Amino acid sequence: MITYLLVFALSLFTVALSIKPLITVAIRKRLFDAPSESRKIHKRIIPNLGGLAIFTGFLLAAALFVDISSFWNANYILAAGVIIFIIGLKDDLIGVDPMKKFAAQFLAGFLVTILGDIRIMNLGGLFGIHELAYPFSVGLSIFLFVGFINAYNLVDGIDGLAGFLGLMTALVYAGLFYYAGYPQWTCICLALAGALAGFLVHNVSPARIFMGDCGSLMLGFMVAALTIQFINVAGKAVIEIGSVSVSSAPALALSIAVLPVFDTLRVFTIRIINNQSPFKADRNHMHHRMLALGMNHMQATATLVSVSLVFIATAFFLQKIGNNQLFATLVLVIILLNTTLSIYLYSKKILDEVAVPGSNLNSAGDRPGKPNGAGAKFTSEGNEFAEKVLREVSTEMDQEHLS
């Protein structure tokens, strides 16, 4: 237990203490997310390299406490994670063509599923399917990796949301792997949880830094890996947690990621029906709809995380009803909640104000805008803020030079 606490604490403090210098560097080099379009939620420039700190803290804690000798496919997870991180960082700095991003995501999924053998092998009777043939197992797993990577990228749209959802997911899987007897995977979860907790110290409203694509893409990748590994572990032996036996793992895994996955499918479907590119950005995501109800960022985040926790608790305590019934229940409930919200928004004539047409998606959570090297245009308020920070940085540098 002491080891687990050390993993979490090391990752947390590494990230929390590295954010402030990272913000200073980002401001000096003008590497920030600029509110250059009307559909932007934030109104001032904010550094978007938080994922750099998250990835560093996670790697440090995992490298020191994870026993590689008993975790043979850790190298493939690391290699794929580096690919995802680099493509996300490049997108944050200068922008990346969407097709290149997808190619990197498929490559990462290929490495983990083919070489690392982290793939869904058994659906536990979901849709009447048990053991999966190897080609279908690989294809489904790669699809899951790419889907989760983009789902968590899109959900990163308001202060704290992606971070808190990721923290909740990492802690839930840490508990599941702990009771299943997989200490190395427990450490991986706690390293991720600590990194996200350290980041959230600086990401709650008003956010001083965003995780950017390098953070959200990496988060989605790790959640996909944890999800697939959990389904495989639970398929080999029933996990006993108190009086509850985890016997419907795929449905429980769905409950953990239900909001990002459902929101992505819903938005993509609406765009396709409207003869638009599924990657054309708008303000119709679940967090935009919460803001349309009059909530601020943290109220919206707290509401969505609370709903997610209710889904997880429901799936956990209804394990006995089986995968198919539980899966159907979760899907019906989320559709009912979405339909109710849509009717309410229509009745208040808010939906027309929310669904503002946007341009092509080029940043996390439909949050466009790149550093000025990518051609971002700053508002007057953003310019004033930048110049103020730059003056402060220059003053500090002059004082250091004189001393």
239 bridge partner residues: 246
Q: Can you say which residues are annotated as belonging to the binding site for Mg(2+)? A: 153, 213
- pLDDT, tens digit, 9 for 90 and up, residues 159-196: 899 999 999 999 999 999 999 999 999 999 999 999 99
Contact criterion met (CB below 8 Å) for 198 and 170: no
- pLDDT, tens digit, 9 for 90 and up, residues 7-63: 999 999 999 999 999 988 888 877 766 555 544 555 567 888 899 999 999 999 999
Residue 252 is predicted with a pLDDT of 95
Residues of the chain with pLDDT > 90, as a percent, come to 56
| AA identity, residue 31 | L
Terminal-to-terminal C-alpha distance of the chain: 46
CA 141 to the chain's CA centroid: 18
Cβ-Cβ contacts under 8 Å for 311 (sequence gap 6 or more): 255, 256, 258, 259, 330, 333, 334
Contact criterion met (CB below 8 Å) for 253 and 235: no
The answer to whether position 401 is within a domain reads no
> Which residue bears the tokens 């210098």?
21
The answer to whether position 147 is within a domain reads yes
φ, ψ at 284 (rounded to 5°)? -120, 15
C-alpha–C-alpha distance, residues 254 and 262, integer Å: 10
| AA identity, residue 52 | L
C-alpha–C-alpha distance, residues 388 and 374, integer Å: 22
CA 104 to the chain's CA centroid: 17
Q: Can you say which residues are annotated as belonging to the binding site? A: 153, 213
- Dihedral sign computed on CA atoms, order 254, 255, 260, 264: positive
Cβ-Cβ contacts under 8 Å for 39 (sequence gap 6 or more): 281, 282, 283, 356, 358, 366, 368
> Whole-prediction pTM value?
0.84
3-state secondary structure of 159: coil
- pLDDT, tens digit, 9 for 90 and up, residues 233-272: 998 888 999 888 998 999 999 999 999 999 999 999 988 8
32 bridge partner residues: 47
Query: Quick one: tokens of 381?
Result: 């308020």
* Nearest one of 13, 19, 4 to 195, comparing CA atoms: 13
The answer to whether position 75 is within a domain reads yes
The answer to whether position 336 is within a domain reads yes
Name the band, by pLDDT with cuts 50, 70 and 90, for residue 281: confident
φ, ψ at 125 (rounded to 5°)? 90, 0
Mean pLDDT in residue range 204-218: 90
The answer to whether position 153 is within a domain reads yes
Query: Quick one: tokens of 192?
Result: 């991720």
Query: Quick one: tokens of 61?
Result: 């804690």
Cβ-Cβ contacts under 8 Å for 331 (sequence gap 6 or more): none
The answer to whether position 402 is within a domain reads no
The answer to whether position 395 is within a domain reads no
Q: In the chain, what is the greatest distance between 2 CA atoms, to the nearest angstrom?
A: 74
The answer to whether position 390 is within a domain reads no
Cβ-Cβ contacts under 8 Å for 12 (sequence gap 6 or more): 57, 194, 195, 197, 198
- For the chain, how many structural domains are there in total? 1
The count of other CB atoms within 10 Å of the CB of residue 390 is: 13
Q: Which domain holds residue 98?
A: 2-383
